[in-house]
Structure 1
Amino acid sequence: MATSTESPLVEKYLEYVRVERRLAARTVELYAIHLQGLAERAQAAGLALTQVHTAHVRRWMAQLHSAGHESRGIALILSCWRSFYRWLGHEGLITSNPVQDVHAPKAGRPLPKALAVDEAVQLAELHDEDADPWTEARDRAIVELLYGCGLRVGELTGLDLRASGTALGWVDLDAREASVLGKGSKRRIVPVGAKAAEALLAWIAVRDECPALPVARLRDPAAAAALFIGRTGMRLSSQAVWRQLRGRGLKAGLATPVHPHMLRHSFASHVLQSSSDLRAVQELLGHANISTTQIYTRLDFQHLAKAYDAAHPRAKAKAKTK
């Protein structure tokens, strides 16, 4: 084993997990590393391992956090320590587990990835000369709807060509709005902008040119009624949208791999930057709770901070003169 400790209790415990619990060699090695750290911290505090209390564990956890350890890593360390002290309890060496009620700090919620405005426009205005006109019209309409309406990919693929009793969603170009069925089977109406409407009209004009569509209508009328179909004449899958969008992003010259939810994030971020109306963005996205939408205020602040750094004369320290 690469790592060892002088503590007889730790050595005995490692033998237990290796022989009786039959843990993988790599897991035992990680246990040895984490318990070595525990033994060293206890020794530095003048404590035997059986004398450690919850207050000590909380202090050591805070030290790990301050040293830059991520929440997930701290949680794994605490899990190891907790198992060790559970074993000590079974052995009758302690009366309570000092790690039982100690938990790692919650991980910070990562910011959603969104395109800059110019990147989103660059993607939307791409004309793929290598694609056939039918596919190009479809994919342009997909980008315009995802970015222009903030749809989830499932909401997009669930759209039908026209409203019906069985349709999950549809687009009313006369009213310039889309009706979609979101999470929790909640229906919402979102506006369709001029560019998205223009792209949709261009797609609808060529949609029925798909040679496989007549057969698809006989085989599965509901699938063939989809607004967006593939070459088989059937409803386009979410996976197909992911693939097409990723390839389109590459052809547009974007450095960041593009996926459908990134366009939804971009929609929310750019609307918020322009309007500062968090409630409106919540309604447009179909979020049940405003707290879900509030993460976009952090993106908006990042945007403002970058603008400040680039433009404000007091944002950057002046270069030192020699």
Structure 2
Amino acid sequence: MRPEIERYLEHLRVERRMAPLTLETYAGELACLQAFLNDAKLELAEVQMHHVRRWTAALHGRGRSGRTLAKTLSAWRGLFRWMGRRGEVTLNPVDGVRAPKAAKPLPKALSVEQSMQLADLHQDEADPVLEARDRCLVELLYGCGVRISELVGLDVEAGPGSRGWIDLAAGEAQVLGKGAKRRSVPIGAAAREALSAWLALRPALVRLEPAPLFLGERGRRITPQQVRLRLKQRALQAGVPTHVHPHMLRHSFASHLLQSSGDLRAVQELLGHANISTTQVYTRLDFQHLAKVYDAAHPRAKRNR
């Protein structure tokens, strides 16, 4: 990487405290920019808007979607904006360059019935410790709407360096979300019951790391990959006819809560969205659900169809 790009990535990591996966994405997009710079034999300070337009068109021609190109341009724009604040460039050549518009896909969510089918799964023949842990994972993902990074970062209780913890007496989880923003998430009755059952059996796995709430079989903090695999297996065992991943349960939490309450602001707070426009996608998902109910139940809908 060129020195300017290296310094910018360090700024994102240390000062902006960007999540590792997001930082990795930014690094990839900036490596792409560097490849164009090398081919054109340009320094960053020499880049003009027509260069950015040409490179964007080249990426589009290689099959990048408008949505992906928007992320690419955002990463490039951030680099030049940071360099501008430091007096290293006089203009931002990415300003004014826009990616082709792309249709925003709706988030995929389970139906209420499928969610309950997954949450209510009991496997009497399974290892009781792992069964209690996996049931608790599902209850917190669906019942609290937490991100997978927030889930695996939970500790049993608050301590030095804790990213998040459980307060079972208060019925709350303190989680650390995007941008290092902390929020309190209520824990429902079913999740509290699952937590109590898991905490009673959890000592059987406590070995190497005593603080994490969720542990793998080797006694270390459970990883996102392990959660994804266990959830996929559990969904298959429950007979849910779709690939289930942790973020799908977050989408299901938001969609079902909005269907029941209609309170978009409350859903925004519970999800930890900085901008309500991010949450508004669930209103489209809610309308899609209502349209399906109408098509299935209304006499006129049946007749017209």
- TM-score for the superposition, normalised by structure 2: 0.67
Change (3 A) 1:102 1:224: closer
The equivalent of 1:127 in structure 2 is 122
Aligned to 1:293: 279
1:110-151 deviation digits (Å, cap 9, x = unpaired) = 111100000000000001234200000000000000000000
| Distance of aligned partners of 1:316 and 1:171 in 2 relative to their CA distance in 1, 3 Å threshold | same
Which residue number in structure 2 is paired with residue 199 of structure 1?
A: 194
Q: Secondary structure at the match of 2:162?
A: coil
Residue correspondence of structure 1 range 274-285 to structure 2 within 5 A: 274-285=260-271
Amino acid at match of 1:303: H
Ranges in structure 2 where 5+ consecutive residues have no aligned partner: 1-38, 40-62, 70-95
Report 1:144-155 matches (<5 A).
144-155=139-150
Alignment of 1:6-17 (within 5 A): none
Aligned mates of 1:102, 1:191 — CA distance in 2:
42
**Mapped partners of 2:241, 2:304: distance in 1:** 31
One-letter amino acid of the structure 2 residue matched with residue 119 of structure 1: Q
1:267 to 225, 249, 253: 253
Structure 2 equivalent of residue 247 of structure 1: 233
The 3 A distance-change label for structure 1 pair 294 and 71 is: farther
Contact preservation (8 Å) 1:159, 1:167: yes
Which residue is equivalent to 1:93? none
Q: Are positions 1:307 and 2:302 aligned together?
A: no
* Equivalent-residue separation in structure 2 for 1:242 and 1:130 (angstroms): 21
Q: Deviations over 1:268-305 (max 9, x none)?
A: 00000000100000000000000100000011001110
Offset, 1:102: 10
Distance 1:72 1:146 in 2: 30
C-alpha distance in 1 between matches for 2:285 and 2:216 = 35
Which residue in 1 is equivalent to 2:182? 187
Residues of 2 paired with 1:308 and 1:261: CA distance?
Answer: 27
Give the CA deviation at 1:172. 0.7
1:62-101 map, 5 Å: 72=65
Q: Which residue of 2 aligns with 1:208?
A: 203
Cα distance in 2 between the residues matched to 1:149 and 1:116: 16
Paired letter, 1:166:
G
Matched residues in 1 for 2:186 and 2:111: separation? 22
Aligned partners of 1:71 and 1:107 also within 8 Å: no
Q: For 1:229-286, what per-residue CA distance to the aligned partner results, in whole angstroms no more than 9, with x for missing partners?
A: 0111110000000000000000000111110000000000000000010000000000
Alignment match, 2:76: none
1:311/1:169 CA distance change after superposition, 3 Å: same
Alignment partners' CA distance in 2, 1:235 and 1:229: 5
SS at match of 2:151: helix
Where 1:246 maps in the other structure, the secondary structure is helix
Change (3 A) 1:103 1:283: closer
Using the alignment, how far apart are the partners of 2:278 and 2:284 within structure 1? Answer: 12
TM-score (norm 1): 0.64
Q: State the shift of 1:313 in Å.
A: 1.4
Larger radius of gyration: 1
Q: State whether residues 308 and 315 of structure 1, in contact with CA within 8 Å, keep that contact through their aligned partners in structure 2.
A: yes
- 1:106 is paired with a residue of what secondary structure? coil
Structure 1 position 163, deviation (Å): 1.2
Q: How far apart are residue 104 of structure 1 and its match?
A: 7.0
Task: State the partner residue of 1:172.
Answer: 167
Question: Deviations 1:32-83 (Å, cap 9, x if unpaired)?
Answer: xxxxxxxxxxxxxxxxxxxxxxxxxxxxxxxxxxxxxx9949x99xxxxxxx
Percent of aligned positions that are identical: 64
For residues 202-228 of structure 1, the C-alpha deviation after alignment (integer angstroms, 9 at most, x for no partner) is 000000012xx33x1xxxxxx431000
Deviation at 1:164? 1.5
Number of positions where the alignment pairs a residue of Structure 1 with one of Structure 2 = 217
CA contact (8 A) 1:153 1:238 kept: yes
Report deviation, 1:103: 7.4
Label 1:316 to 1:162 Cα distance change in 2 as closer, same or farther (>3 A): same
C-alpha change, 1:108 and 1:136, in structure 2 (3 Å) is same
| Structure 2 equivalent of residue 224 of structure 1 | 210
